Structure 1
Amino acid sequence: MNAQANGQLSWSRRRALALLLQGGMALGAGAVNAAPSATTVAPKFNPDGSEAHWPGNSIICHVDKRSETFMALLDIHQNLMRSGMLHRIAVLPPASYHMTVFNGISYPARHLDFPTDIPPDADEAFCNAWWLAKLKVFDLGCELPFRLRVLPVEQQTNLYNIQFEPVDAAENRKIRKLRDRLAQALNYRLADHDSFRFHITLNYFYSTMTSEEQRRFFKLHQVLAGELIRRAPVVELQNPEYVYFDGMYEFRPQLLLQNQRPA
């Protein structure tokens, strides 16, 4: 990275921190007054903030580490680590940053949702391998990259993540059709399948915030979302990855979904 780029990154960090110290005054009134989502304590982390055992599988796109989106997310990570909220939040490592294309099986929640063609008492290894065999012959069936834009700051009310939407109607149809085909191939369709909001998760809450802490953290979150919009309003994602995980810190790729047939 050249000196000019380093200077721009440093300026971005200083600006974000300055805005936070100003109490978010640079945000529009509508953004500051928007209601944040509830900061529910996540079962994916222990009461001391350590990562809980939460195994499963999923289909995701990791954020390209060479992209401006990833560089901006690195600055967001640093600001979260300096936020004074580490007694409440578990900040995810940048290597984990991804966008979920299709939610897989969360084994601790298997009593709520489970594929219809797998025995309910099947172990994790069997389920993971069952999906792997199916996905090896699954045709991605669409052009890459996926292109999504960051939602406006006033809509960034989920304090766990940054939320996105496809850049246009054609891109939305492409991604939604892929999700529909995956649900059919894997015999697995969650209740929020049609309303699923694309996002990149930044942190989880392992301890309940006071109302004042939530107010301050909401302001910080919106400042950081605004910086991402300024620097990298559109994210481009390549082949989805079928991944295994034991918790929220690492998602281990097993297979890249590919176009099996020529266009």
Structure 2
Amino acid sequence: MSFIDEINHVNVLIIGASQGIGLGFVKKLLQDDRIAKIYATYRRLDSASDLVVLQDEYSRRLTCISLNITDELQIAEVLQQISNETNKLHLVINCVGLLHDGNIQPEKSLRQINSENLLRYFQVNSIGAILLAKHLLPLFRHDDKSVFANISAKLGSIGDNQLGGWYGYRASKAALNMFMRNVAIEYSRSCPKTTVVTLHPGTTDTRLSRPFQKNVSAEKLFSVERTVSQLLAVIEQLQDGDSGQFFSWDGSQLPW
């Protein structure tokens, strides 16, 4: 039985829900009668039109909140806002990720290394998640089972890296994995009912992956809907001993 089935009033937070996988999670979970309330964050309102439409349609169950994950003050304020409405979250999924943006592109060689771009990769892909973990703690201190999942990437696996390149993205996702391993250990003492995992979604047809899809075979390029269904299946099948682990979309465990 899924941990969600054991809870009467399931509260969910999706970070980075304006588009792509995050928006897909919101759409899927709104169709699930077991989910009582969804909080969904976006960085820029002008790119969150689909999310706003959903809020208009599901105003009682969906609350949309502006959040820049690199700003700790904003993280604290958003989680305080949620705390004013509820003292429990049961499922938190961080979908925020940076691969390319303007002059930030995956590096093919050392010649392309840029310290400002590297810092940006770590701010978005790694540091934001650990700041979330810090401020989520009070909302996970309850007796219901809960899950804190971060979307990572197989490219962040050191053991699996055979091709090199993509320095900033790989390293920042590897750092995310280490951060969440640490969080899992501390959470086991402070909120032991919470399972902390990182998840590899597979190559998904989103804006993040679009420039890099040409070498991906059709059967390995997932729709957002398929990715969301697969990841939710992994999340719902998590066991008590899985906290601190790194899972692929098919439920298999990935090497660090």
Which has the bigger relative contact order, CA under 8 A and spacing at least 6? 1
TM-score norm. by structure 1 comes to 0.24
Going by fraction, where is helix more abundant, 1 or 2? 2
Q: Based on CA coordinates, which of the two structures has the bigger radius of gyration? A: 1
